[in-house]
Amino acid sequence: MAKPGVIVVGAGLAGLACAKALREARVDARILEAGDAPGGRVRTDAHEGFLLDRGFQVYLTAYPEGQRVLDLKALSLRRFIPGAKVWRGGRLHTLADPLRQPLEAVSHLFTPVGGLLDKLRVLELRQHATSGELGDLWQRPQQDSLRFLRDLGFSEEMIDTFLRPFFGGIFLERELATSSRMLEFVFRMFSKGHTVVPERGMGAIAEQLAAKLPSGVLRMKVRVAEVWGHRVRLADGEMLHADAVVVATDPATAASLLVGMPAPRMNRVTCLYFAAPEPPVEGPWLVLDGEGRGLVNNVAVMSEVSPAYAPKGQALVSVSVVDDGGDAQALEARVRGQLTEWFGTAVSAWRHLRTYAIAEALPVQTPSALVEPHRPVRLAPGLYVCGDHRENASIDGALTSGRRAAEAVLLDLER
């Protein structure tokens, strides 16, 4: 006998994970997606032979939920070098991971990015973040990340030259107002695994999840106008009924569809892509601004991480601005000016490919937002919600929330 049907609204990572879990439980789940492809905020566009992720993003192989639901080998993951290059005092300085690159780390002990004690405290931070069970981490006392780092003894110089641009690029806010729980989770993931991108771009993650669903489960270009309990009204007026509805859209859309659900505050980011004749940095490095004088927070030459990101003989440069940057043309000029200081006059020959101004890139994760680390996914009998705003603002959080919503649906359907 066929099990009851479920409508999942939204084909981001949370919606795809939810539908996958439901289908594996032999529930007839269907996904309605307003866009032209799955992935939500994790998509990759093909443009003039380049692969452009919609905003600079990475995947961390230590994500526990990702290990459960993704075929990581099939994604052909390409690694970043553990560490970073930091622009400070007119040149780039290398910071290497002391546990994974001990010889390089020793040679960089006296680079002008924090002091010797700061570099030793990075090991203390690693030990603190990786101790105990992962579930216990989300119950630890919390404070904002800036105060947490200061309490650990990091100097203001180390915070401003490395920790602020590093974590600021992850949290998409440079004030480091994000919860220390989130900082410890992220650093634990960096410490226990590798920082990677799929060979063919971050969008390959969503494409893999979508490909595991039976044909006809995912309907694209279908916009949902209203959700009433077990009913969904589409923008064209069509009314659909189901035994359960899971709203798996972006946070703002979820708030508009679900009465009484507040929309979380969101951090923004602007990502600019340039085609360069030669890579400005050789190797799969993350490059950070250690001076804080300009708009650029971080740079990565994506074709050095995975050659598939760019046509042969060209380099793809990703530049992240943790701000709106204002007018797009003025932003590009200011970014070029700053990068010319870093990489020289060759920047003038770079060709601008595309700018992604992402106003709602990531939910704000202040301590108040994470008082309850696992927010409810069951709103009422037959009505559910999932997304990174219900868990933590990460790919792992999105995947986890999707599974949690599916488990809640299955529990109610079995009653």
In CATH, what is the architecture of 5-40+204-264+375-414?
3-Layer(bba) Sandwich (3.50)
| Paired strand residues for 191 | none
User: pLDDT in tens for each of the 415 residues of the chain?
Assistant: 344 599 999 999 999 999 999 999 999 999 999 999 999 999 999 999 999 999 999 999 999 999 999 999 999 999 999 999 999 999 999 987 766 665 454 555 557 788 889 988 999 999 999 999 999 999 999 999 999 999 999 999 999 999 999 999 999 999 999 999 999 999 999 999 999 999 999 999 999 999 999 999 999 999 999 998 889 999 999 999 999 999 999 999 999 999 889 999 999 999 999 999 999 999 999 999 999 989 999 999 999 999 999 999 999 999 999 976 678 889 999 999 999 999 999 999 999 999 999 999 999 999 999 999 999 999 999 999 999 999 999 999 999 999 999 999 999 998 5
Q: Tell me how far apart the alpha carbons of residues 195 and 12 are, in angstroms, rounded to a whole number.
A: 21
Distance CA 19, CA 399 (A): 11
Sort strands 231-234 and 286-289 into parallel, antiparallel or unpaired: unpaired
Query: What pLDDT is attached to residue 108?
Result: 54
The domain limits of the chain are 5-40+204-264+375-414, 44-78+196-201+266-363, 81-193
Q: Which residues contact 381 (CB under 8 A, 6 or more apart)?
A: 412
The sign of the CA dihedral 279, 282, 286, 287 is negative
Please count the other Cβ atoms lying within 10 Å of the Cβ belonging to residue 158: 21
Q: What is the pLDDT of residues 34-61, one digit of tens each?
A: 999 999 999 999 999 999 999 999 999 9
Distances (CA, A) of 161 to 166, 168, 205, 380: 9, 11, 32, 47
| DSSP assigned state of 361 | E
Q: For residue 188, what are the β-bridge partners?
A: none
- Reduced to 3 states (helix: H, G, I; strand: E, B; else coil), residue 215 is coil
Q: Which of 318, 394, 398 is nearest to 38 (CA)?
A: 398
Neighbours of 45 (CB within 10 A): 16
d(C-alpha 60, C-alpha 67), whole Å: 10
Q: List the helix and strand counts (H, then E) for the chain.
A: 14, 21
CA distance 204 to 42: 9
CB 84 within 8 A of CB 95: yes
**Average pLDDT in the chain:** 94
DSSP string covering 257-315, please? HSTTPPPPPEEEEEEEEEEESS-SS-SS-EEEESS--SSEEEEEEHHHH-GGGS-TT-E
Distance CA 227, CA 242 (A): 11
Cβ atoms of 77 and 378 closer than 8 Å: no
Residue 143 and residue 391: Cα distance in Å, rounded? 18
Distance CA 55, CA 356 (A): 6
User: β-pairing, 83-88 with 286-289?
Assistant: parallel
The predicted-structure confidence for 334-374, as pLDDT tens digits, reads as follows 999 999 999 999 999 999 999 999 999 999 999 999 999 99
Q: Considering only CA atoms, which of 47, 56, 42, 2 is closest in space to residue 25?
A: 2
Distance CA 8, CA 268 (A): 26
- CA 202, CA 157: separation in Å to the nearest integer? 33
Assigned fold of 44-78+196-201+266-363:
Polyamine Oxidase; Chain A, domain 2 (3.90.660)
